[in-house]
A and B are shown apart, each in its own frame.
Chain A
């Protein structure tokens, strides 16, 4: 089966940079995604890494190392509105070659002034 690990909580200062790490164990790995979820809301997609390296989307970047089964989400120029939970999710091959997406437990980010 799959397993993902990420820190449960992170606190950072407004304007700073924060990195949220994710390690995973799975077979038939396709890629790693990141989602943001505000309290009471639905998860929304941030980024996806199918290949090793860095993907940048505005203030957010995501990195993947397939050989290390490791990835991270980097948030720059933190804003108060970035306070939310962040989930890494593994997309991997399920039975019959279909694609299954499994989520980590989530990291609650608190941005403080």
Chain B
């Protein structure tokens, strides 16, 4: 298996633009997690899915953030409109449900 695949790896955009981050989890994993990492706040859980259904989105900072998982092999995290404070590395991770999460390489977002 190729592991968790995220795209884009790097994104630079201007304030107010829409940003879409993509994730392909490992086949057969029931859980998909979206995290945001910054120096100040560490790894924050934004939202997670089980069998494509959003379970807990309490970590989503505000209504500008939304996430979908239309099928078992694809998820998106969208920010609209983006702001400079959204600059961070966004990680997607999948899990079969045990104690181990498998992370993608991350999407580094810079909002100017």
- Whether A103 touches B99, Cβ cut-off 8 Å, given contacts A94-B55, A94-B56, is no
**Inter-chain contact B56/A99, CB cutoff 8 Å:** no
Q: In whole angstroms, how far apart are the Cα atoms of A99 and B98 in the complex?
A: 9
Q: In whole angstroms, how far apart are the Cα atoms of A45 and B106 in the complex?
A: 15
B101 contact from A30, A41, A45, A50, Cβ within 8 A: A45
Sort chain A's interface into a size bin: 20 to 34
A99: B residues at CB distance < 8 A? 31, 95, 97
B33: A residues at CB distance < 8 A? 101
Q: In whole angstroms, how far apart are the Cα atoms of A105 and B99 in the complex?
A: 18
**Interface SS, B side:** strand
What 1/0 flags go to B43-72 for Cβ under 8 Å of A? 101001010000110000000000000000
Chain A residue nearest in CB terms to B100? A45
Chain A residue nearest in CB terms to B101? A101
**Interface SS, A side:** strand
Interface flag for B102 (CB, 8 Å): yes
**Inter-chain contact B101/A106, CB cutoff 8 Å:** no
Instruction: Tell me how many residue pairs across A and B have CB atoms closer than 8 Å.
Output: 63
Q: In whole angstroms, how far apart are the Cα atoms of A95 and B100 in the complex?
A: 20
**Inter-chain contact B102/A45, CB cutoff 8 Å:** yes
Q: In whole angstroms, how far apart are the Cα atoms of A101 and B59 in the complex?
A: 12
Number of B interface residues in the complex (CB < 8 A): 24
- Whether A103 touches B106, Cβ cut-off 8 Å, given contacts A45-B100, A95-B56, is no
B43 contact from A41, A91, A95, A103, Cβ within 8 A: A103
B105: A residues at CB distance < 8 A? 41-42
**Inter-chain contact A98/B99, CB cutoff 8 Å:** no
**Inter-chain contact A87/B43, CB cutoff 8 Å:** yes
Chain B residue nearest in CB terms to A1? B58
A44: B residues at CB distance < 8 A? 103
Interface residues, chain A, CB within 8 Å of chain B? 30-31, 33, 35, 41-45, 48-50, 87, 89, 91, 94-96, 98-106
